[in-house]
Structure 1
Amino acid sequence: MALRTHRITPSQRCRDLLCIGGAAVLTVALIGHERVPDVFGVGVVLDSALPWLGVGIPVLTLTAALCRSKMGALTVLAPLIAWTYLFGSWWATGTGSATVPHSTQVKVVTQNLYAGNQQPAATARALSALDADLIGLQEFSAGNAEAVSSILAGDHRYYVVEGTVALWSRYPISTTTSVDVGVGWRRGLRAHVETPRGDLVVYVLHLPSFRLGDTAQRDHGLMTLSRNLASDTAERVVVLGDFNTTDTDRRWQGFAPGYHDTQRSAGSGPGFTWPAKLPVVRPDHVLIRGVRATSSKVDRTPGTDHRAVAVTLDLER
């Protein structure tokens, strides 16, 4: 009795190659995105969208099923493993704060107010409700300054403004200086804050935006700021800001050596903050050195186009 053999038809071979090729392209894009030339800003856009490439995995799986391609279904494992390796840890549980004495904690918040904010008072009330000791603001402008100041001043006696960034504090502020973030106007400050547990240096920053085909100013600002932060001799430093840079951006790799991103060390999930209604990227960060983050989360505030980032720090690390 003759054995039946299964011949792969040209049509099936074509479908297999289609599925295999799609899986290969997606895998290479995930693990080799930094090698894609940053021509007209395309590389940076790919970097920023990197977590969302995971959407391609179920698409490839469905395609393989529709094409009845067993080989295609197997090759989907490659981008799945790559994506899990890169982003699976985002959902790991952050450091708990239950055993940390309240007396050693300081809560900080960073918020881009949005210059066109039509509800600045509502934004300020939401920020005040977060019960933060320090609140760093970006896009603090003539249109929102009065409403925001009148509300935050109730619980935060001390404040400093430098151009379009501001810091509100429950503790005394001293020795404030401007910080260069690579633009021609003031969008950065550095201040000493005298907490009950000792001095804390706090930066509030707003890096230049990047546009498709125009990342030079943002990149220059990151490079300049990285040098400044790395050379800061303060023992305990907190950096609050809208960096206009995601943590998958190639320019973020190696930024400010010695500093840690609180979302990755104490948060859970991607921590996306922009746009506020349906956030898909995270340009807002809290970086720390010499202190420990015990929790990091994102909060929705009305009137703004960014969500706030709220972090609890343990100064007795």
Structure 2
Amino acid sequence: MDIVKPRPARGRVPAALAVLTAGLLAFHRAVPNTPGRVGSVLESFLPWLGLAVVPLFLYGLLRRAPATLVALLLPVAVWTHRFGGLLPPPDAADPRDLVVVQHNVADDNPDPAGTARALAAAGADLIALEELVPDALPAYERALAARYPHHVVRGTVGLWSRHPLSGARTLDIKPARLTEPWSRGLRAVAATPHGEVAVYVAHLPSVRIVPRGMTSAGRDESAVLLGRAVARERLDRVIVMGDLNGTVDDRGLAPLTSRLEVPRRGFALSFPAGLPLVRIDQVMARSATVRGIDTLPATGSDHLPVRARIALG
């Protein structure tokens, strides 16, 4: 008599992959950051992890594997919970909102004046710029002067404003390992129609993804220094803008994201400009609501500008 062994349920392996995907989405902080800061790498591209659902769904559909299809409900639910709120367009513009633009203009930008005019056309109250090199700075100043009579520049970062600025100072966010001149942070107070707001502009050190992982020690150290500066800020309302070289999910920016509110609507992927994969150009706030964020058309930079609406009420 032949004994027929029961075949394993079809789709167990894809179902397990679906559960693993959901686990990584929900518990990404449990992924260790050593070696190679693998946790930060995962968090930098966390929303894209949802794409794993597509091939698993096709497999379950074509192979008629109910276990896979049922298991896929878990990563879909987790992704929707984490990122679904970013998908709807921002709420209708409110005239009481403060509109801000953040842009790393790139030190090799071939058309700084054209970039400045494009940014001014966005109608923002505040414009934060990084990678301002001495040769290009006069072009930005001339192009923005008419609409933004108040501005301050410290090192390679600058802030242009429709409203009066005061209390401008350099922020020391330089990593200890750097010995060369390096100035990438400033703080100023904008006298908006809704009261004074402390505005921070920062450009954190770059990160690199190499075969051994992510090199982000300098970025992480600068984020700690910037977070401490924000914590010491005497004004209640704070806006932080800058090229932070990290996403809001990346644990390397936790010294900031733990103290500040991030945008409620919009992905606004800003880098690289030709095929945006991540948003490393950030707008965050304290005692204010970043109601939405989007990108503006490309300039001569390798970053896209981002625009955010902030409710100060």
Q: Among residues 27, 32, 40, which one is paired with 1:37 in the alignment?
A: 32
Q: CA RMSD in A?
A: 2.2
1:203·1:238 contact (CA, 8 Å) conserved in 2?
A: yes
Matches within 5 A, 1:1-317: 8-9=6-7, 13=8, 15-38=10-33, 39-92=35-88, 94-98=90-94, 102=95, 104-183=96-175, 184=178, 185-212=182-209, 213-253=214-254, 255=256, 257-261=258-262, 263-264=263-264, 267=265, 269-315=266-312, 317=313
Q: Give the deviation of 1:294 after TM superposition.
A: 4.9
Please tell me the residue identity of whatever aligns with 2:152: V
Change (3 A) 1:56 1:189: same
Q: After TM superposition, what 4+ stretches of structure 1 lie above 6 angstroms from structure 2?
A: none
Deviations 1:203-249 (A, max 9, x none): 11111112234211111111121121122111222111111110111
The letter for the 2-side match of 1:123 is: T
Shift in Å, 1:58? 1.3
Tell me the TM-score normalized by structure 1.
Answer: 0.86
Shift of 1:189: 0.1
Cα distance per residue 1:124-172 (max 9 Å; x no partner):
1100111222211011113432322220112212211111101112222
> Take 2:11 and 2:195, find their aligned partners in 1: how far apart are those partners?
64
Tell me if structure 2 keeps the 8 A contact 1:299–1:309. yes
- Contact in 2 for aligned 1:181/1:206 (Cα 8 Å): no
Structure 1: gaps spanning 5 or more residues: 1-5
- Change over 3 Å in CA distance of 1:109–1:18 after alignment to 2: same
- Is residue 151–residue 165 contact of structure 2 (8 Å, CA) maintained in 1? yes
Whether contact under 8 Å (1:41, 1:211) holds in the other structure is: no
Native 8 Å contact 1:206 1:242 kept in 2: yes
Q: Quote how far apart the aligned CAs of 1:47 are.
A: 0.7
Cα displacement (A) at 1:93 = 5.2
What SS class does the counterpart of residue 255 from structure 1 fall into?
helix
Paired AA for residue 201 in structure 1: A
CA deviations on 1:6-49 (whole Å, 9 max, x unpaired) are 9743xxx3752222222122122212222222221222111111
Conservation of the 8 A alpha-carbon contact between 1:96 and 1:294: no
Do the aligned partners of 2:220 and 2:253 also contact (CA within 8 Å) in 1?
Answer: no
**Offset, 1:95:** 4.3
Structure 2 residue runs without a partner (length 5+): none
> Cα–Cα, structure 1 residues 79 and 196, in superposed 2: closer, same or farther, change >3 Å?
closer
Task: Report if aligned partners of 1:273, 1:279 keep a CA contact under 8 Å in 2.
Answer: yes
Amino acid aligned to 2:25: L
In 1: Cα distance, 2:97 partner to 2:75 partner: 41
- 1:287 maps to amino acid: M
1:246-293 CA-partner distances (Å, limit 9, x unpaired)? 0111233463544212x22xx3x3221111222111111111223344
Equivalences, count = 300
Relative distance call for 1:223 and 1:75 in structure 2 (3 A) is: same
- Greater Rg over alpha carbons, structure: 1
Q: Identify if the C-alpha distance between structure 1 residues 168 and 229 changes in structure 2 by more than 3 Å, giving closer, same or farther.
A: same
Contact 1:113/1:139 (8 A) holds in 2: yes
Letter in 2 for 1:76: L
Q: CA deviation at 1:65?
A: 2.6
TM-score normalised over the length of structure 2: 0.87
The separation in 2 between residues aligned to 1:86 and 1:314, in whole angstroms, is 23
Stretch deviating more after TM superposition (63-72 or 212-221): 63-72
Structure 2 CA distance, aligned partners of 1:8 and 1:126?
A: 67
Equivalent AA in structure 2 for residue 214 of structure 1: T
**3-state SS of paired residue (1:40):** coil
CA, structure 1 residues 235+30, in 2 after alignment: closer, same or farther (shift >3 Å)?
closer
Q: Are 2:10 and 2:67, in contact at CA under 8 Å, matched by a contact in 1? A: no
